[in-house]
Chain A
Amino acid sequence: EDQVTQSPEALRLQEGESSSLNCSYTVSGLRGLFWYRQDPGKGPEFLFTLYSAGEEKEKERLKATLTKKESFLHITAPKPEDSATYLCAVQSGGSYIPTFGRGTSLIVHP
């Protein structure tokens, strides 16, 4: 059974204070690891897909990295508009069904 654990559950940062969110996973043959952003009262918004260890992807202040056991979402010099819940999900080989973590709630104070 695929498992995804995200940490911390909640994170408060000051504007400009860089940090990282963690997504640890166990999966039988990783097909893809996905990061989503979810704002309060809205549906998740797709950010990145990572396929293999060593891969990195960037978008504005966000950078996602992947190892064989975990993924990090690095947030550089965050702004208040980066406040959201960040969700991680995995898809294993032979399945189309994603397994989501519980998310990390990020609040960035001005």
Chain B
Amino acid sequence: EAQVTQNPRYLITVTGKKLTVTCSQNMNHEYMSWYRQDPGLGLRQIYYSMNVEVTDKGDVPEGYKVSRKEKRNFPLILESPSPNQTSLYFCASSFPSGVSSYNEQFFGPGTRLTVL
């Protein structure tokens, strides 16, 4: 089954404790991205990756890091989480056939993060 998986699905942590949210896709997609979704603000892109070893900032990259060492994996790293990073996080991927189709994305099920 074609899918994007994220782990963990739920996480409660404390301020300053480094954490990693994993994302993996089994569709051989080149493009992957991370979003956060907050009430009243909608989805906002954190980082994206056009391919292995190619990453770039989205609209809200502060406080986050990513890496793309393999095509299928795109982990999101919070080195020193703070309460304002409490949010619902989504990983997404696509196989673009043109410049516009990058945003025809498959989304993962989400990771709900709470930072105390």
Chain B residue at minimum C-beta to C-beta distance from A93: B99
Chain B: how many interface residues by the 8 Å CB criterion? Answer: 26
B90 at the interface (CB under 8 A from A): yes
User: Which A residues are in CB contact (< 8 Å) with B4?
Assistant: 43
Tier of interface size on chain A: 20 to 34
B79 at the interface (CB under 8 A from A): no
Give me the interface of B with A, judged by CB distance under 8 Å: 4, 40-45, 48, 50, 56, 58-59, 90, 92, 99-110
Q: Could you list some 29 contacts between A and B, CB below 8 A?
A: A31-B100, A32-B100, A32-B101, A32-B103, A34-B103, A41-B110, A42-B109, A42-B110, A43-B108, A43-B109, A44-B90, A44-B105, A46-B105, A49-B100, A49-B103, A49-B104, A89-B103, A91-B100, A96-B48, A96-B99, A97-B45, A98-B45, A98-B103, A99-B59, A100-B43, A100-B44, A101-B42, A102-B40, A102-B42
